């Protein structure tokens, strides 16, 4: 990976077509994402500064540089050509930097597959020396043209999921050195999340990257939001890909705004969360 974040390839014309395909509630957010395309590094620094206002500009820049130079992230990104479904460099760096700055005690993610997001989170948790990642995944494989999970045949298209080689290969990218802060739960997130959250005091950072259908995304948001800590952050990947307004509709119902970084949606719960020095930090 280069020493800075680069623009994605493909030009603006495909993005114009994607803009037209968005429902009305998502078009404004998609248009704002053009600024991310023009200035990936500046956009992520501005977003991180808003999410973690206690961090000064130099701390934000250092966190981004940490992600860009992180050896575990670089290792994963080196496998992109032969491993479909990995997060982009921009997304991994953003998540890694956010964990470094926000220092969450409890992180929950849905959708693991190969484990690129897990690596970005766990590498940052190792650096700050605290926190734990709880991951939920319903692994999917393809057998004779049919997509299956441990729960049986799945009514999903190949474009809706990232397949793994075998059910026991979930998170295969995560090295042993990072697994001491990781707990994996297998099953449908809408069934697993309530039980998992009942055992956790609260969630400081949540990442949705499982099934991106409207009902599934709204369902996860509605389950997690009440357990999200004051100032806690909810991330949702691929919010524009399937042309629905799940995140916009939920944000409106929750009375908050959502931001974007490329195709990732970001919501922050209002209130003040405790920082490492005991001071309150306001969530926006």
pLDDT at 11: 64
98-125 as b/e: b if 16+ CB within 10 A = bbbbbbbbbbbbbbbbbbbbbbbbbbbb
What's the rounded mean pLDDT across residues 161-165? 95
Residue 279 pLDDT exceeds 50: no
Q: How confident is the model at residue 246 (pLDDT cuts 50, 70, 90)?
A: very high
Tally of CB atoms within 10 A around 250: 22
**Would you call 49 helix, strand, or coil by DSSP?**
helix
Q: Is residue 22 part of a domain?
A: yes
| 132-137 and 141-143 strand pairing | unpaired
The token pair at 188 is 């449908």
Host domain of residue 247:
13-283
Write the DSSP string, 156-206.
Answer: --GGG----SSGGGTTTTS-GGGGGGEEEEES-HHHHHHHHHHTSS-EEEE
The domain that holds 165 is classified in CATH as: 3.40.50.150
Q: Is residue 6 part of a domain?
A: no
Q: Is residue 70 part of a domain?
A: yes
Angle between helices 24-32 and 13-21 (to 10 degrees): 150
CA-closest candidate to residue 142, choices 224, 85, 89, 103: 85
Q: How confident is the model at residue 126 (pLDDT cuts 50, 70, 90)?
A: very high
Residue 227 pLDDT exceeds 80: yes
pLDDT at 35: 83
Mean of per-residue pLDDT scores for the chain? 93
72-116 pLDDT, tens digit per residue, is 999 999 999 999 999 999 999 999 999 999 999 999 999 999 999
What percent of the chain is modeled with pLDDT above 90? 84
Q: Is residue 256 part of a domain?
A: yes
The token pair at 27 is 């078009």
What's the rounded mean pLDDT across residues 128-150? 96
Q: Is residue 243 part of a domain?
A: yes
What's the rounded mean pLDDT across residues 226-240? 97
Q: Is residue 207 part of a domain?
A: yes
Q: Is residue 41 part of a domain?
A: yes
pTM summary value? 0.93
Domains in the chain, number: 1
Q: How confident is the model at residue 3 (pLDDT cuts 50, 70, 90)?
A: low
The rounded distance, in Å, linking the Cα atoms of 49 and 44 is 9
Residue 281 pLDDT exceeds 90: no
Q: How confident is the model at residue 1 (pLDDT cuts 50, 70, 90)?
A: very low
Q: Is residue 8 part of a domain?
A: no
Q: Which residue has the higher pLDDT, 144 or 68?
A: 68
Q: How confident is the model at residue 70 (pLDDT cuts 50, 70, 90)?
A: very high
6-42 pLDDT, tens digit per residue, is 877 666 667 778 888 999 999 999 988 888 888 999 9
What percent of the chain is modeled with pLDDT above 70? 93
């Amino acid at each position: 990976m280069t020493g800075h974040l680069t623009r994605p390839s493909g030009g603006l014309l495909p993005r114009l077509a994607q803009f037209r395909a968005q429902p009305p509630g998502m078009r404004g957010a998609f248009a704002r994402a053009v600024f991310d395309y023009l200035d990936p590094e500046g956009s992520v620094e501005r977003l991180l500064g808003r999410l973690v206002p206690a961090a000064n500009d130099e701390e934000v820049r250092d966190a981004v540089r940490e992600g860009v130079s992180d050896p575990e992230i670089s290792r994963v990104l080196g496998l992109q050509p032969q491993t479909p479904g990995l997060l982009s460099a921009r997304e991994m760096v953003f998540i890694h930097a956010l964990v470094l700055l926000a220092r969450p005690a409890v992180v929950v993610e849905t959708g693991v597959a190969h484990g690129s997001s897990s690596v970005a989170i766990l590498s940052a948790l190792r650096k700050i020396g605290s926190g734990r990642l709880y991951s939920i995944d319903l692994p999917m494989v393809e057998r004779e043209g049919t997509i299956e999970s441990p729960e049986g045949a799945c009514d999903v298209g190949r474009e809706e999921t990232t397949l793994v080689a075998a059910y026991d290969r979930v998170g295969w990218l995560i090295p042993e050195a990072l697994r001491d802060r990781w707990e994996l739960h297998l099953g449908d997130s809408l069934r697993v999340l309530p039980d998992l959250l009942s055992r956790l005091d609260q969630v400081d950072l949540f990442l949705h990257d499982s099934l991106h259908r409207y009902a599934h995304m709204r369902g996860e948001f509605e389950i997690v939001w009440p357990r999200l800590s004051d100032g806690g952050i909810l991330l949702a990947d691929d919010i524009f890909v399937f042309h629905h307004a799940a995140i916009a509709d939920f944000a409106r119902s929750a009375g908050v705004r959502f931001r974007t970084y490329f195709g990732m949606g970001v919501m922050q719960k209002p209130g003040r969360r405790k920082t490492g020095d005991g001071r309150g930090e306001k969530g926006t």
